[in-house]
């Protein structure tokens, strides 16, 4: 039986990536090794997140908390685990993390050819109420591994080799694209393995959900952004063409909001506003990976000016507005921007 085959022939993420890489004769397993070290970081964060509410009692790593001992914040701890795991993989040369002001240049003896940009724990304001949070990552190839420079990571998103995120939600889900579609894996806690559960994710062409922090509307930056956006959300609520209104869903945790958008369709928006004139979300490790996945799933990602993946970042922590999701829904935003601009 097919179901039996699935139960006994487990497609782990490692097996999946090994299969995929074996299509390239020059592949020596480096990418698989790199990915395994990212996966290890995700498993650690998953386990730590599951214990977050207990941390004051038992400590994040499960050790008894000596009274008065300062516990490391979950995002700081997650960052350390990712950095150490990625360096020890021997496959990386430059690491850019949301948590660190400066990029990490791996010492020559441990250097490999990949650059990893990541946000180890995105949405951390949601930790204390146990709402879904996630890790986001993107992978570039260095040009010259003897002389890595910041220019190796200041590349447009379309140059990424792979991108993904891990969501610590009601289950732990890792979504990955190596440029050949988008695939979702769910952590089986009893095995400690990510198993392929969502092969070839395709975002619906048009969705019924919009996702934006509408409470910011007063601050939406004008005039283009402001009027285009106000028109858009008005249309979502009061469609004039007889179609039904859209539902609003906003978790305030990018990984969860984008994950839902990929699976159910619709649009996720984080525009510029008066407080954040370039938007809030970071180009390298938030906007790019999510835009890469959205395009790979058949959707679109737009900055208000251009295709998001065409953007060339000039600073590692640069921000950009982002509108991503179902093809048709993003098309509408683009039209409104063109009309107002």
Pair 149, 142: CB distance under 8 Å: no
Nearest to 182 by CA among 165, 157, 205: 165
Q: Which of 120, 123, 157, 304 binds ligand AHM (CB under 6 A)?
A: 123
Segment near Mg ion (CB under 5 A); pick from 53-61, 118-126, 190-198, 269-277: 118-126
The nearest distance, CB 102 to ligand AHM, in angstroms, is 18
The nearest distance, CB 49 to ligand AHM, in angstroms, is 13
> Is residue 254 part of the contact set for ligand AHM (CB under 6 A)?
yes
The nearest distance, CB 285 to Mg ion, in angstroms, is 7
Distance from C-alpha of 121 to C-alpha of 251, rounded to nearest angstrom: 15
**Partner from ligand AHM, Mg ion, none binding residue 280, C-beta < 5-8 Å depending on class:** ligand AHM
Pair 117, 79: CB distance under 8 Å: no
Distance from C-alpha of 324 to C-alpha of 320, rounded to nearest angstrom: 12
> Is residue 221 part of the contact set for Mg ion (CB under 5 A)?
no
> Is residue 53 part of the contact set for ligand AHM (CB under 6 A)?
no
Query: Angle at CA 128, nearest 5°, toward 268 and 102?
Result: 70
User: Residue 118: is it exposed, middle or buried by C-beta count within 10 angstroms (0-12/13-18/19+)?
Assistant: buried
Residues 6+ apart with CB under 8 A from 231: 336, 340
> Is residue 280 part of the contact set for ligand AHM (CB under 6 A)?
yes
Element (H, E) at 267: strand 267-270
Choice between 1 and 275, CB closer to Mg ion: 275
> Is residue 124 part of the contact set for ligand AHM (CB under 6 A)?
yes
Distance from C-alpha of 16 to C-alpha of 293, rounded to nearest angstrom: 17
> Is residue 277 part of the contact set for ligand AHM (CB under 6 A)?
no
Q: Which of 75, 119, 295, 332 binds Mg ion (CB under 5 A)?
A: 119
> Is residue 257 part of the contact set for Mg ion (CB under 5 A)?
no
> Is residue 189 part of the contact set for ligand AHM (CB under 6 A)?
no
> Is residue 122 part of the contact set for Mg ion (CB under 5 A)?
yes
Distance from C-alpha of 134 to C-alpha of 41, rounded to nearest angstrom: 12
> What is the DSSP pairing of strand 162-168 with strand 133-141?
antiparallel
By CB under 5 A, name the binding residues for Mg ion: 119, 122
By CB under 6 A, name the binding residues for ligand AHM: 98, 122-125, 213, 252-254, 257, 270, 280
């Amino acid at each position: 039986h097919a179901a039996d085959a699935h139960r006994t022939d487990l497609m782990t993420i490692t097996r999946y990536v090994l299969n995929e890489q074996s299509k390239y004769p020059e592949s020596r397993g480096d990418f698989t090794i790199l990915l395994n070290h990212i996966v290890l970081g995700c498993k650690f964060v998953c386990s730590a997140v599951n214990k977050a509410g207990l941390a004051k009692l038992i400590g994040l790593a499960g050790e008894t908390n000596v009274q008065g001992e300062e516990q490391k914040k979950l995002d700081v701890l997650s960052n350390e685990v990712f950095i150490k795991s990625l360096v020890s993989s021997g496959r990386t040369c430059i690491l850019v993390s949301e948590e660190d002001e400066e990029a990490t240049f791996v010492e020559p003896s441990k250097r490999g050819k990949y650059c990893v940009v990541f946000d180890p724990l995105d949405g951390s304001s949601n930790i204390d109420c146990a709402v879904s949070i996630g890790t986001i990552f993107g992978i570039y190839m260095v040009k010259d591994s003897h002389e890595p420079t910041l220019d190796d990571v200041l590349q447009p998103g379309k140059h990424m080799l792979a991108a993904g995120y891990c969501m610590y939600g009601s289950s732990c889900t890792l979504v990955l694209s190596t440029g050949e579609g988008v695939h979702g894996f769910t952590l089986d806690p009893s095995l400690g393995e990510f198993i392929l559960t969502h092969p070839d994710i395709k975002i619906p062409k048009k969705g019924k959900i919009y996702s934006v922090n509408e409470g910011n509307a007063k601050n939406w930056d004008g005039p283009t952004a402001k009027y285009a956006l106000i028109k858009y959300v008005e249309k979502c609520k009061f469609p004039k063409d007889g179609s039904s209104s859209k539902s609003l869903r906003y978790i305030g945790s990018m990984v969860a909001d984008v994950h839902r958008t990929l699976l159910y369709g619709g649009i996720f928006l984080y525009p510029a506003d008066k407080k954040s004139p370039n938007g809030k979300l970071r180009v390298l490790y938030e906007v790019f990976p999510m835009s890469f996945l959205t395009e790979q799933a058949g959707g679109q990602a737009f900055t208000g000016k251009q295709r998001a993946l065409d953007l060339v970042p000039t600073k590692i922590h640069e921000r950009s507005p982002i509108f991503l999701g179902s093809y048709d829904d993003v098309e509408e935003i683009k039209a409104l921007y063109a009309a107002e601009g």
